[in-house]
Amino acid sequence: MKNIAKEINKSKVIAVLQIDLLENVMPLCEALLKQGINIIELALRTNVSQKATELILKNFPDILVGLGTVVHEDQVRFAVDTGVNFAVSPGCNTKIIDLALKNKLPFFPGISSPTDIEISIDHGCQILKFFPAENFGGINYLNSINAPYNHLNIKYIPLGGINLSNVKNYLESDIVLGVGGSWIAPRNLINEKKWDIISSNAKKIIDLISLQ
């Protein structure tokens, strides 16, 4: 199994996806891979998300697949059974964390406060999802709530409101492992099959990362 933390830190970006139609899986993944984005978080929010996960795992071995919006125990079991690389949640549900880690599934719970951080640490997590990042004050807020725990070497994956205009603020921080964003391939562009625009968005963030 690949070291997920190392891979995320190397790539620096996770494309957060919502897929409504299975016919969009192939061209979407091809558009992302073409520009060098090989880590995705597929949100379990649509009727086809689980089938889309299986298609991506089968057809795109070069993509590291994470599942997002994992809030139920059966979703953890699906993640384990299908062999995805990691899973994340918007919040900090200890039952979900414990089940994931019990099954050796790399899991990144969502945090937005010191209490969330302490709960996550207490349940064995060292990589945390900071969500919704911009609404809570961005990198300045994250630095503030992390300060008491800085000696623990926790790493964060901020998501929520991040785009090309503010992503550098996060990527320059030592506590940020990588960032997630739906701006690369937003739901409307996927449904409209705007593969050229998605590919262009992917190229822009990859070019920016290469300058870091």
Distance of CA 133 to the CA centre of its chain: 13
Q: Which of 7, 34, 73, 129 is catalytic?
A: 129
Residue 34 annotated to the active site:
no
Taking alpha carbons only, the member of 49, 99, 48 closest to residue 72 is 99
Taking alpha carbons only, the member of 108, 36, 98 closest to residue 67 is 108
CA dist 179 and 163 (Å) reads: 10
CA dist 78 and 84 (Å) reads: 9
Residue 73 annotated to the active site:
no
Q: Which of 12, 41, 134, 155 is catalytic?
A: 41
- 184: buried, middle or exposed (CB in 10 Å: 19+, 13-18, 0-12)? buried
- Tell me which residues are annotated as active site: 41, 129
